A and B are shown apart, each in its own frame.
Chain A
C-alpha cells in the first residue's frame, strides 16, 4: 500500500462545471465509509449516487474512508471514473472498476469505411462526450494527448475507458488518440479491451513506433481474448515524419489511414500556419502520395477557426482536390460542411454517370475507342467515374446503379 498518501482528489468542481464532479478521499483509521454528497441532482439521484460510491469503495476493499463528492449532474460513468482515479492515488490496487458495455456500443470496427469527419473530444471532459455521436461524425476521437493536462492523464484514461463502454457512439467509428510513446503504450491498457476501433498514434516518425504499438496491442488482445482487429492511424506532425511517410504508411496491415497534424508541423517547419495552407503543400501532397502508394486513406488536419464556416468549406475543397479523403474537426458544426464537401457534387455525379453510360454502350457494341462528345475517354477516366458513382451510391446520393 502507498501508506504515505492519505488524501486524494480527482475531477473538478466550480460554478461553471457541468456533467462532471469532484471527489475527495480521506483514508481514516475507523468510522467505516462516510459519504458527504453535494449534488445538483440530489433530489432525483441522491440515493443511487451514494449506492454507486459504496459499491465501488467496497470493490476496492477500503473499509474506512471519508468521501466528499461535489456533483454537477455527472452521469454514473463519470462519477465512478473520478472515484477510481482518487482511489488509485491512495491505494496500489491493480483492480479496475469497469462499468457495463452498453449494447449500442458493441459494433465491430470496419476497415473500409468513410472517414470524412472525425471529431476530437478532450479525453477528460465528460460533458462534450455525451452528445458527440448525435452530431453524426464518421469518427469520434477521445483524446488522451494534447487536450489533457499532464497531471490529469490518469483521470482521463479512466474516463475514456468508461466512456468507451457507457457513452453511446451512435455508430461513429470509435477512436482514441494515445499519448506519445512511451506513455501511449500505457494508455493502450485502458482502451484496447473496450472495443476501440482505431488508435491514433501522434507524432509518428518511423515504423518502429508503429511496431511498438502493435506489439503492445497484440499482447493485450491475447490477454483479454479479443477477437476483432484494432486499426491504427498514425499522425504525421513533424518534418521527419513527412519524409518517412511511406515507411510509416506501410509499416503494418492494420494501418487504415495516415493523418497530418498541421499545428505541430508548421511549428516544426518554423512557418506560420495560414488558412490557405500553402506553407504545407509539399508535406500534404507527400503524405497523400505515400498513402495512395500504400493503399490507405489520407486524412487532413483540422480547420481551427470554428467561427469561419466559409473558410472551412474552402479548406475542405482544397483538401479533397489534393487527394485527402477526410479531415479532423474540433466542433460539431464543422461535420456537416465536411461531409457535404467531401461528397461528390451533383455535377460530378452526372458527368460520371454519362461516362459510365458511354462506356457500357461502347462495351456492348464492342467498340475499342470511346468518346463523350468530342472528348476521347480512356480507362483511367472510366475508373475515376466508377469511383465517383460508387461513392455516391454508398452515401445514398443516388440509387444503386443500373449498369452491371
Chain B
C-alpha cells in the first residue's frame, strides 16, 4: 500500500486527498462545496451504426460483453432492484472470469448477501474493488483489508451525482429488467422478475459508454412504459432467469412484532403529532425497515382519527403504504424502490403511485430534489453521537456491514427523526463519537429511544412545541450516560491505519473513512 496523504476535513475527520490513484475533495461542510464545470458527456453515437429495424438482440450476455469491449480495468455497473434475488451480477463476473479480464471496478447501486459469490473474484483479481454498499460477507471481507482497492460508499443520490459529474465513468452498464423489447426499452413492472421500478439504473443508462439490457421477459416492441429508454441501449439479451422472485421481494417489509420497536414507532408518531408535523397535507419519507413501517401505521391511525391526509409519501413502497393510498390517506406515493408485490401492482395500475429516480429525489447536483421537500423523514442508524452525528455503515466493532442507501439524501428533509434503541444487546447506540461519520449532526433533529427523546438544540422550534408535553425529553448526553450505565463504558474499537473504504457526502466530497479492523 502506498503512503496515503491525509488531511482533516470540515467534520474533523482525517481523510485522504487521493483514492485509488485519483484526487478527491475533502468534505467542506453542509452546502459549502461549490460544484463547478460541466456534466459528464457520453460519446455521440449515430443511428447508422445500429440496426435500422431496432433489433439489438445478441445471443448471450457473454457475447454482449465482448461486443461492448469488456477489458481490464473497466468500470462495470449493475443496479440492485433485484435485491437479494439478483442473479445477474454474479453471472456477469463469472463471464469476466472466463474471459480472463482483470481489475474491474464493480459499481453497483447496492450489494446484497447473494453477492458473497463475488468474493472469489475479489480474491483472484477479476474485481479490483467495489464502489457501492458492501453488506454482510462482502463488508466483512473488505473490513479485513482484503480488497485490492479502496471501496467507495455513496448514497443513492451521491451515486447519481458521481455519474452525472463524471467522477465515475461507467464503461459498461448491465441493466437487468423484468420486461424489455429488442430495442432496449425496459421496465420492471411485468414478468417473473418484476421489481416495479428501475430508477437506480437511470444514471447508468444515460451516462455509460455501453449499455446492455438483459431480460427474462422479451416482448415485441414497444415495451411500455419505458422506464429505461432504448435509445440509450447498445445491446439486448434474453436470458432464462434474472432473479429469484422470492428474494426480490424484500424480507424487510413486514411490520415489526418486537414490542420494543413498536414502542419506538409509537413514541415517534406521538412526537410528530404533538409537534404538529402531522397536519393536513403533510409529507413523509417511508422506509422499509420494520420500525419505519410501524411508524407509518401509527401515522395512519392519527390521520384517520383527525380526518386528515398526507399530500405524498416518498421512499420505498409496500403493501402498507399502498393501503393508505387506496384508502385516500395519501394523495401520491413517490416511489423510489418497490418492496413487495402490492407495490408493484399499485404502481402498474394507480396513477397516484408515481415512479421516481435518484435524479428526481436525491441528486444534490441538480436544481433541487424531492427529498428536501419532505416534512419528516424517519430513518435508522447504527450509532448516534452526542453531537447528533450518525453512522449507518459500520457497527461499533468497526465492521462495515451496511450501505448508505438514500439515508444521506433524506437528511435534507425538514425534520429528521432517528428512532433507535438506546443499546442493542450490550452495544450502546448513543455514543461519545460515532465510529464512522455518515451524516452530520446539524441535519439530524431528533433521536427517539425507548428511554427518552433527545432533540437537537438547533431545533429550538421543536423544543418550544414540546413544552408541557409528557413525552420523555432528555438531553443527548443524558441518553448516552444512560446507555453507558446499563452496558458499561465501551473500549474503543482498534483499527489498523489501512483505509479500506471512504464515505462520500452527497456532493462528492469525502466525509470519512473506514479502516481495516485489527
Contact = CB atoms under 8 A, between A and B. Distances in A.
A44 B423 CA distance: 13
A19 interface: yes
Interface stretch (B161-169, B238-246, B256-264): B256-264
A43 B397 contact: yes
Interface in B374-427: 396-398, 424-427
B464 interface: no
B493 A73 contact: no
B259 A75 contact: no
A120 to B, nearest CB: 13
Interface residues of A, number: 23
B263 A332 contact: yes
Given A43-B397, A44-B397, A45-B488, A131 B260 contact: yes
B419 to A, nearest CB: 13
Interface string A75-100: 11000000000000000000000000
B425 A18 contact: yes
Task: Say which size band chain B's interface belongs to.
Answer: 20 to 34
B490 interface: yes
A19 B426 contact: yes
B49 interface: no
B491 interface: yes
Contact of B491 (A47, A73, A74, A135): A47
A73 B263 contact: no
Contacts of A48: 488
Interface string A56-88: 000000000000000011111000000000000
Interface string B256-276: 000110110000000000000
Interface in A344-387: none
Contacts of B494: 43
B426 A74 contact: yes
Given A47-B491, A48-B488, A131-B450, A41 B259 contact: no
Given A19-B426, A134-B451, A45 B259 contact: no
A331 B263 CA distance: 12
B491 A45 contact: yes
Nearest to B517: A43
A75 B396 CA distance: 17
B426 A75 contact: yes
B10 interface: no
B463 to A, nearest CB: 23
A292 interface: no
B425 A72 contact: yes
Contacts of A76: 488
Given A19-B425, A40-B426, A46-B491, 9 more contacts: A43-B396, A44-B427, A45-B426, A47-B491, A72-B425, A74-B426, A76-B488, A131-B259, A332-B263
The 5 closest A-B pairs by CB, nearest first: A73-B425, A44-B490, A332-B259, A73-B426, A134-B450
Interface of A: 18-19, 40-41, 43-48, 72-76, 130-131, 134-135, 168, 331-333
26 contacts: A41-B397, A41-B427, A41-B490, A43-B396, A43-B397, A43-B398, A44-B490, A44-B491, A45-B426, A45-B491, A46-B491, A48-B488, A72-B425, A73-B425, A75-B426, A75-B487, A130-B486, A131-B260, A131-B263, A131-B450, A134-B263, A134-B451, A135-B259, A135-B263, A331-B259, A332-B263
